[in-house]
């Protein structure tokens, strides 16, 4: 693996910061049983450059930590985001399919955390609500973000894996 350049590290810090800001600004809908975590739209960035998994992972970790999540959520919620991003990278040739990975992985992992860590309801309810919220974010905001980047040569160059 190539060492991260200063530009790459800076990009990852910016992605992490944007993720944290989105979670905190929309905190009222980023945690609890009903989750529409707008910051997850940034997951599409890994479809353009797999290195963006670093910024997304750090951003998710910091957002959960600062947002007051319990330790198991900070750790396993972050790992769920990382796993979903890794699966998206593997499926990047099929972006329409890749977008469902955060809904599936977070639905399962965060659903378990909400049921057993926060006692917010039965597993079918917590998994279902997280899946639906993530699905809506990824296929509305995420898909639009993906199309905007894909159709904008300047943004594509900025975010591509060539750097």
Is pLDDT at 80 greater than 70 in this prediction?
Answer: yes
Is pLDDT at 111 greater than 60 in this prediction?
Answer: yes
Distance CA 23, CA 29 (A): 8
Distance CA 57, CA 60 (A): 5
Distance CA 37, CA 22 (A): 8
Is pLDDT at 3 greater than 80 in this prediction?
Answer: no
DSSP string, 78-141: HHHHHHHHHHHHHTTTSHHHHTTHHHHHHHHHHHHHHHHTS--S-HHHHHHHHHHHHHHHIIII
For 140, the token pair is 């509305």
Question: Can you give the pLDDT at residue 107?
Answer: 97
For range 91-101, the mean pLDDT: 97
Q: What SS3 state is found at 26?
A: coil
Question: Can you give the pLDDT at residue 22?
Answer: 97
At 139, is the pLDDT very low, low, confident or very high (cuts 50, 70, 90)?
A: very high
Is pLDDT at 163 greater than 60 in this prediction?
Answer: no
* pTM score: 0.93
10-59 per-position pLDDT tens digit: 999 999 999 999 999 999 999 988 899 999 999 999 999 999 999 999 99
Question: Can you give the pLDDT at residue 34?
Answer: 85
Residue recorded with tokens 């972050």: 78
**45 contacts: CB under 8 Å, gap ≥ 6:** 15, 52, 55, 56, 149, 159
53-64 per-position pLDDT tens digit: 999 999 999 999
The gap between the terminal CA atoms of the chain, to the nearest Å, is: 14
């Amino acid at each position: 693996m190539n060492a991260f350049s200063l530009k790459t590290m800076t990009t990852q810090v910016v992605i992490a910061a944007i993720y944290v800001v989105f979670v905190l600004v929309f905190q009222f809908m980023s945690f609890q049983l009903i989750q529409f975590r707008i910051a997850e739209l940034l997951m599409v960035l890994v479809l353009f450059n797999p290195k963006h998994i670093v910024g997304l992972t750090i951003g998710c970790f910091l957002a959960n930590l600062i947002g007051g999540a319990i330790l198991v959520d900070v750790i396993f919620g972050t790992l769920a985001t990382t796993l979903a991003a890794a699966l998206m990278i593997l499926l990047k040739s099929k972006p329409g399919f890749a977008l469902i990975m955060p809904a599936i992985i977070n639905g399962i992992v965060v659903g378990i955390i909400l049921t057993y860590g926060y006692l917010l309801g039965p597993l079918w309810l917590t998994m279902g609500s997280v899946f639906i919220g993530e699905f809506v974010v990824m296929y509305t905001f995420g898909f639009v973000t993906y199309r905007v980047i894909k159709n904008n040569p300047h943004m594509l160059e900025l975010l591509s894996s060539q750097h």
